[in-house]
Amino acid sequence: MKNIKTSVKSYRPQVEPESESTKSHHVIKRLFVFFTNVMLFIIFYLIGNAPAPWLEATLRRFFVEQAIANNDFSGPSNAQVIWLEVMEASPLFIAAALLFVLNGYFLKKYRKTLGQKLFRLDLIKIDNECPSLFSMMILRNLIFVLSVLIPAVIMLIIGLVVYPSIPHHFSLENLFFSLIICNFIDYLFIFRKDRRCLHDLIAGTKVVEET
């Protein structure tokens, strides 16, 4: 058992120098990995749509019961409207969470995402050592997570604190726009000479052909 642990810890993939003829093929494979994540996100979004009406109806019923208990029949407050809009956007949060969990499982088990496993790619550090679980799961997903979390928090602060008297600050369209733009910019870095995306630069990793 001790020998097995030692071999895993010192794992160093052998990275062969790439010829010019393989570089474009590598970029195409990386783009297919990206589109695999996009398709998974869409599938998970559709799955997240199933409980969304129930979540919204449950929250709406809670607000109605609260209003009846307080003899307040003026209708939902702006804060309540915002939280109902958050429930409408719940499929996006569910999809992001499911994609994070799925890729997290593959990263922990295989040290590569599902897309990277499908297209026979390896994930390593820039010094060719095996990356830590933290750099693989947290740092490489930082842009993806923050592209959803930051605009959501900003819209909540604006709607609940800055302009609480004006309804409809929380927008699913804004979340999608932020998610698409941030991740599009991230993957544009793949056309750099070293073909490291922005999340690779943050995590100190690179993607190479499987050996």
Amino acid at 188: L
Q: Which of 24-33, 60-69, 88-97, 173-182 has the lowest mean pLDDT?
A: 60-69
The contacts of residue 111 (CB under 8 Å, 6+ apart) are 122, 123, 130, 131, 136
Q: Radius of gyration over alpha carbons of the chain, in Å?
A: 22
Asked if residues 44 and 86 have their Cβ atoms less than 8 Å apart, the reply is no
| Average pLDDT score over residue span 51-72 | 84
Strand runs (DSSP E) across 55-202, as ranges? 121-125
Lowest mean pLDDT among 122-131, 170-179, 188-197: 170-179
Between 194 and 159, name the one with better pLDDT. 194
| pLDDT score at 25 | 87
pLDDT at 40 over 70: yes
Give bridge partners of residue 208 from the DSSP assignment: 122
Alpha-carbon distances of 171 from 50, 82, 89, 134, rounded to whole Å = 20, 9, 8, 31
Whole-angstrom distance, CA of residue 192 vs CA of residue 211? 23
Closest CA to 95 of 41, 55, 135: 41
Phi, psi (rounded to 5 degrees) for 207: -110, 130
Beta partners for residue 18, in sequence order: none
- Is residue 208 a contact partner of residue 122, using CB atoms and an 8 Å limit? yes
Arithmetic mean of pLDDT, 79-98: 88
DSSP reduced 3-state for 149: helix
Neighbouring residues of 100: CB distance < 8 A, sequence distance ≥ 6 = 141, 144, 145
- pTM beyond 0.95: the answer is no
108 alpha-carbon distance from chain centroid: 16
Residue 129 in 3-state DSSP?
A: coil
